[in-house]
Chain A
Amino acid sequence: MTPIQITYPNMMVILPEVVLSCWVFFMMMADLFIPKEKKEINAVLGLIGLAVTAVSVFMVLSYGDISSFNDSMRSDRFALFFKLLFIITAALAILISAKYIAIEGVNWGEYYSILLFSVVGMMVLVSATDLVTVYLGMEFMALSIYVLTGFIRHDVRSNEAALKYFLLGAFSSGLILYGMVLLYGVTGSTNVYKIANFLAANDNYSNPLMIASVILLISGFAFKIAAVPFHMWAPDAYEGAPTSITAFMSVGPKAASFAALLRVFLVALPVMKPHWVAIFWGVSAISMVVGNVVAVAQTNIKRMLAYSGIGHAGYILMGVIAGTRMGVASVLLYMLVYIFMSIGAFSVIILLRKTGVKGDEIKDFSGFARRYPSLGLCMLIFLISLIGLPPTAGFIGKLYLFAAAVEAEYYYLAVIGVLMSVVSLFYYMQVAKTMYIDEEIEGQELVPSRALTFVVYFCAAATLLIGMFPDGFISAAMAAVLPI
C-alpha cells in the first residue's frame, strides 16, 4: 500500500473563510471573559473581524482567478464580489443588532459568533465549484440562520418561525441533494466544469434523469431564494425572527443562493438551458405576481416586506433567465442595491421596537415622518427604491434586470415585471401614507442607539448615491461577471 500523497493546497483560495473562522473561534473564547452588561464588546469584535476579512478579500483579489482543493473551490472576481457584499451585510446587521438584542433580552455573545459563521458558509457557497462544497456551504449558511431565527428563545413566534424554517429547509436540502445525486449519476462527476464538459461531449440532455435532476435542483434553489411555489416559509420566518436577523436573511442568504444558482446552472448546465429556462420563467413570473399581490393585503410590515422579497426574487430571476453577461451583471448589481434598501427598511422597523411594543405593524408607523422628519424621509427613500423609481438605486437595479430580459427577448416577463412594480407602488405607498398623513400616535419613542440611526442614514445615502452615480457600481458588477 502506498501512503496517501497530500498535495499542499493553495490556501489563498479560502483565505477570507479561514480568517473569519479563526476570528469566530477567538470571539467564542473572548465571550467567556466579557461581563454580562458589556456584551456590546462582542459586536465591536465582530466588526473588527469583518474589517480584517475585507482586507483579506482585497489581498486575494490581486491573485486573479485561482482554484484549489481539487478544483472544488474557486476564488474569482464573481466570488470576491459576493464576499464583499456579505461583509457589508453582516457589518450592517451587527450594527443594528447591538441594541436590539439587548431589548429582546437575548444579549448573548453566541449571536455574533453564529452570525459570522453563517457568513463563512455564504463565502464557501459563492466560491464552490463542486456540488459537494455547494451543498456544504448551503447547509452551513442555513443551519446558522435557523439558529438565529429562533434566537429569542422565550418568544413562541420566534420558536415557531425557526421550527418551520428548519423543517422546510431540511426538506429543500433533501431536494437539492437528490438533484445533485442524479447529476452525479449521469455525469460521473461532482465538479461543475467536469459536468459541463461531459454534457457537452455526450448528447445526454434528453436523458430523463437529467430532466429530473434539473427539476429537483430548481425546487431546492427556489426554496432558498424564497420563490413561489416554495415561498411559504418566508412570511412566517421573517415575522417571527429577530428583526435584525430578518434584515440579514432577506439579503445575505438570498444573495449567496443566487450566486450558487448562477454557478450551477450557467457553468455546469448550459446545455440544459432550454429546460431550466422554461421552469424558471414560470417561477419568476408567478413569484412576481404572488409576491406583489399578496403583499397588498398585509398589515404587518415584516410580512409585507417578506412578500415583497418574494416578488424581488422573481425580478432577480429575470437576470438568471436571460443568462447573458448583462443578465448576470444585473443580478450582481441588484443584490448590491437590495442590501441597502432592505436592511435600511428593516432598521427603521427596529427603531420602533421597545420593551413591550413590537412596532412591526404598519399602523405603528402612523405619523412617524411628521414626528421624525429626517428618519421618515429615509424610510421614504427605501420605499421608493423598493418600488424602483428614480433617483434611487432600486431604479437602476430594476432597469438593468428588465433590460437584460428584453435584450434576451423575454418580453412577456419584462412586461409582467413592470406591471407588478406598479402593483407594488400601491402597498409601499400605503406605508408612506401612514407615515406622512395619518395621525401621530402615542408612545412612538425610538430605540436610543446611534449605531442604528447611523445604519438608517448610511443605507439611505448609499441608496441615493448608487441611484444618482451608478457608473462605478455597474462597472464593478460587469467586471465580476462569471466567464460564460
Chain B
Amino acid sequence: MSTHTGEGPDAGTRPAPFRPDLFAGAAFIVLGLAFAIGGAQYDVGSALRMGSGYVPIALGGTLTVLGLLVVVMAFRGGDPAIRDVVRPPVPWRRAGLLVAAILFFGFTVGGLGLGPTLLVTTFLAALAAPEVKPLRAALTAAGITALCLVVFVALLQLKLPLFGDWLGG
C-alpha cells in the first residue's frame, strides 16, 4: 500500500525506539496474548483430537513472539520501509465521525429503517470531509441517501424497510 513506499531505507538511524514499531509490536503482543489466554478457556485436547483451544493457543503464542521481535526491531533502528516517512497526525475527529457513522448504521438500521438511518449516517460521514460546512454535508447526505434508496430498495428490492418499527412503520 502506498504509505510506506517511501523514499528508501538509506537515511540515518534514530536514537530512541522507533515508535510505530513499538506500537505495532505491542498491538501484536496484546492481541496474541488475548487469543492465547482466551483460547485457554476452551478444551485444548490432544494431538489426535485437538480441542477448540489448541490452534488459538498455538497461533496466539506465535503472534506474541512475533510481536516481541517487532519490539526488538523498534530498538534496533526500526522498520526501514517506514522509518523515513513522515506521517501527518492522526485525524482523530474525522476518524471518530466515520466510526460513529458506521456504528449508528449498525445500531439503528433495524429499528429506524433504511431512510432515516442513512440520512444520519451519511451526514456524519460527510462532516468528516475537510473544509466542509454543515449545510453542504446535509446536502451531500440527502443526495447519497436518495441514490442508495433507488439502488437498493427500488432496483435491487432488498427487503430492508424504509421506516422501521421505532417510527411506528
Chain A bound to chain B: no
B interface residues with partner A (beta carbon < 8 Å): none
